[in-house]
Amino acid sequence: MKKMIIIVLLVNGLTLSAQIAPHKYFIEFTDKNQNPYSLNRPEEFLTQRAIERRQMMGIGYEENDLPVTPAYIQAIQNIGALILNPTKWLNGTTIYLADTTLINAIKILPFVKSVVKNEVVYPIEKESFDKFLIEDQLVAIVEPVLSTKNALGYDYGESYDQIHMVNGDVMQQNGFRGQGKVIAQLDAGFYLVPSLPAFDSLRINNQILGSKDFVKDGRPMFDDPTDQHGMWVLSIMGGILPGHLIGSAPKAGFWLLKTEEKPYEYETEEYNWVSGAEFADSVGADIITSSLGYSVFDSTFKEHSCADMNGNTTVCSRGANIAFSKGIVVIVSAGNEGYNANWKCVSAPADADNALAIAAVDSNGIRAGFSSLGVDTGGRVKPNVAAMGALTVIQNSGGSASRGSGTSFSAPIIAGMTACLMQAKPSYSNIFVIKAIERSCSHYASPDSLTGYGIPDFVKAMNIMNINDITGSNYLNIYPSPFTSGCTLKFNSEHTGPATIQLIDGMGTIVFSRNIRATVGENTLVVNGLSELNAGLYLVTLNSDFLHAVSRVVKLPY
């Protein structure tokens, strides 16, 4: 009988514990009413640099630019929730509840639209998924690099291969090293970045513009030896170790944003990612690079599938598309699932319609076996391009150079070189930057699911941008604007050939796409059947091998 009582008490205790175990939630709001901010005063929530980027690209302000209504945040806080990261793009906030019974009081608030449980803080329901396993293991076993390969002013050492593969050494020799461009890195921790020698130049020249922790787990960004991933990635872009390592954009500015919580894998990290991307937008970043990917989670009730990798479904992929709609180039690692028979697709947010997903190849340009497979059908190419991610040279925590492998190390090569390209051609939109990079690739005419369009040539991309112009003869004229059910597009072309017209909404989603044939001279295209589109501002793009134009149009309620 005593044993039965003990068993009953244990069971009841476990049940009670499960009911009140700490949780994290995402609270979505219905609106942004009672908001003290105004779209007429963007300086209240965007830096001058962010405002200037929008002005240069002709991007206006929308409701998702407004911060979350402060009164809503305060009301939830008053109930007893710890506010983690509000997100204006998704109009909500992540919270932590030590007492989960309080969630019922939050659910009935009149401005709460939905509540999503993100994670059980304790206990972990299954063995934690470690997406950094490949990088962690391979960095740990390699020997320091000892070599000398020189290229006019920079002693690249063995890092020459990873830069030369994309013609980055020529870009850098011509003075394009990322000056004046800002890269926001969304990552895990940045162990020893304030002291390692590869970052001396960044520190001396104040190129580390700041850092922010969106995980808020109490683990220091720079002092946790188990969390080196962000440091490795940063070294590939901004590091300088003469004779060993020269980064792809050693003169760019960097924001270091911690959004990834090691060693766990929870959907909360996707919301962290969106908050980090919002912050990058607000401080005026030109590029977001993220060597992170989300596929499966530690909680058994949260799983993604390849069906979710359709470009605009997962939380972080939606965030990536919105970041793109604000004028930012979004660059993401394709993932390390190449050997996983149950996962034949890129991870989120690499799948995002407007993200540039990066595969990994070796020094000979052959796809690395761990690099995630993608798609090349239905108008979608994922991954988009590739760079050296097998035995890439990186800074190690001992202060010297090592080699590491993973798509985490291919993405920063492309991100840094993109900064160099944008430095060379500062007046071009993020859309055209991405298209020029893709068109410069080794097999642009025949993309595949392994490396997409292939390995880019950034000198060729710059030449493509020299030939094309988003103004002048290629200007895209749209009327009427605003429109209700349809509009007419006019543009001039100096060539004949296929082109694609697309409408992109404020969330970064392609809502209309049509393939056309442009002819020499003035072209006119009538677009009808748009009455069902939501009212708002839309980006209109025209793309082909020989032509690029971009404009904006307003849709009125029908």
Give dist(CA 516, CA 546) in Å, integer. Answer: 14
Helix spans in 255-306 (H): 268-282
The amino acid that residue 495 corresponds to is: H
Among 475, 440, 428, residue whose Cα is nearest residue 167? 440
In the predicted structure, residue 249 carries a pLDDT above the cut 80: yes
Do 462 and 384 lie in one domain? The reply is yes
Domain ends where: 53, 87, 120? 120
Residue count of the chain, please give it. 558
Per the domain annotation, does 125 fall within a domain? no
Per the domain annotation, does 128 fall within a domain? no
Average pLDDT over residues 37-65: 93
Q: Max alpha carbon distance in the chain (Å)? A: 94
Domain ends where: 435, 452, 467? 467
What domain range includes position 80? 2-120
Give the DSSP letter of residue 395: E
Among 94, 10, 53, 42, residue whose Cα is nearest residue 315? 94
What pTM was estimated for this model as a whole? 0.82
Q: For residue 19, what pLDDT is reported?
A: 42
Instruction: Report the percentage of the chain scoring pLDDT > 90.
Output: 64
Per the domain annotation, does 313 fall within a domain? yes
pLDDT in tens, 142-170: 444 544 455 556 889 989 999 999 999 99
Do 422 and 531 lie in one domain? The reply is no
Do 237 and 362 lie in one domain? The reply is yes
Average pLDDT over residues 253-272: 90
Do 229 and 163 lie in one domain? The reply is yes
CATH classification at residue 498: 2.60.40.3080
Per the domain annotation, does 539 fall within a domain? yes
Q: How many domains does the chain have?
A: 3
Q: How many CB atoms lie within 10 A of CB 424?
A: 18
Per the domain annotation, does 287 fall within a domain? yes
Per the domain annotation, does 477 fall within a domain? yes
Per the domain annotation, does 101 fall within a domain? yes
Task: Say which range, 1-15, 120-134, 197-211, 505-519, has the weakest mean pLDDT.
Answer: 1-15
Strands 329-333 vs 23-29: parallel, antiparallel or unpaired: unpaired
Do 304 and 418 lie in one domain? The reply is yes
pLDDT in tens, 198-224: 999 999 999 999 999 999 888 889 999
Three-class SS of residue 15?
helix
Give dist(CA 342, CA 390) in Å, integer. Answer: 22
pLDDT in tens, 289-310: 999 999 888 765 567 899 999 9
Give dist(CA 498, CA 520) in Å, integer. Answer: 12
CATH classification at residue 424: 3.40.50.200
Please give the backbone phi and psi of residue 143, each rounded to the nearest 5 degrees, phi first: -95, 155
